[in-house]
Amino acid sequence: MIRNFKVEDTEKLIQFIKKENIVDGDNILSDIESDDKKLIVYDEAGIRGFAYMSVCNKETKRYDVNLYVEAPSRRKGIGTALYNEMSKYVQEIKPNILVTEFSVDKDKEASFYKRLGYKKWFGCNELYYRGIIQPNVDIEFEPYEDKYYDQYVKLVKDCFYELRKENDIQPYSIPSSKQDRENRLKSKDSIYVLFENEQLVASIFV
């Protein structure tokens, strides 16, 4: 049965995310009851899968839609059912851009999304460190504050311009916006910045 996510599902969803090693788990769980997110679950004697939609950019009407099905329950139509149900909400919003993400090393998700009409935009590598704890270094990062926004955006634009241009990810210069500024502020407890002679030279998202 497909139904809306309930607050009492939170612990089960956390267990699902950990079990399936979903990298985007923190984003899924943050502000789960926000008007900018929609989360549905496939409940059959427990959560077997879920799909969620979130707004990435209101100004360009870009939305992200992602779905996950536990490994033992795949190839049984659950993913398609979740996507079809989520499509009802997508049609109400009428986005200009719809984006999804998937891991290329798992059960050929690419073919699933290709059948739905998605076209590859770009890919990225994510590395996982499971070694020893790194030694302390003599570098002092400080928590992000809104007053750093202009410098922060310039740093991000400068760092990613050539990469975006090389892969034709437009616009090449990452745009700033009121919503982007608000999103940074919401995530401020996870962002740390490094200054050198009052110039912002590095940032890290934890």
Beta strands in the chain (DSSP E): 2-4, 37-43, 47-57, 62-69, 97-99, 142-143, 191-196, 199-205
Quickly tell me which residue has 């919003």 as its tokens. 93
Q: What is the mean pLDDT of each run of 10 residues along the chain (206 residues)?
A: 89 85 71 75 91 83 88 89 91 87 71 86 79 90 95 93 87 85 89 95 92
C-alpha span between 172 and 164 (Å, rounded): 5
Domain-embedded: residue 56: yes
**What's the confidence (pLDDT) of residue 86?**
92
Amino acid making up residue 103: S
Same domain, 107 and 13: yes
Domain-embedded: residue 48: yes
Taking only Cα atoms into account, the Rg of the chain, rounded to an integer number of angstroms, comes to: 19
Same domain, 92 and 149: no
Quickly tell me which residue has 């100004």 as its tokens. 59
Strand partners, 203: 193
Domain-embedded: residue 131: no
Task: Note whether 85 and 69 are within 8 A (CB).
Answer: no
**What's the confidence (pLDDT) of residue 59?**
79
Task: Note whether 54 and 36 are within 8 A (CB).
Answer: yes
**What's the confidence (pLDDT) of residue 196?**
94
Domain-embedded: residue 47: yes
Domain count for the chain: 2
Report pLDDT digits (tens) over 113-147. 888 888 888 787 777 788 999 998 889 999 999 99
For 43, the domain range is 2-115
Domain-embedded: residue 134: no
C-alpha span between 83 and 79 (Å, rounded): 6
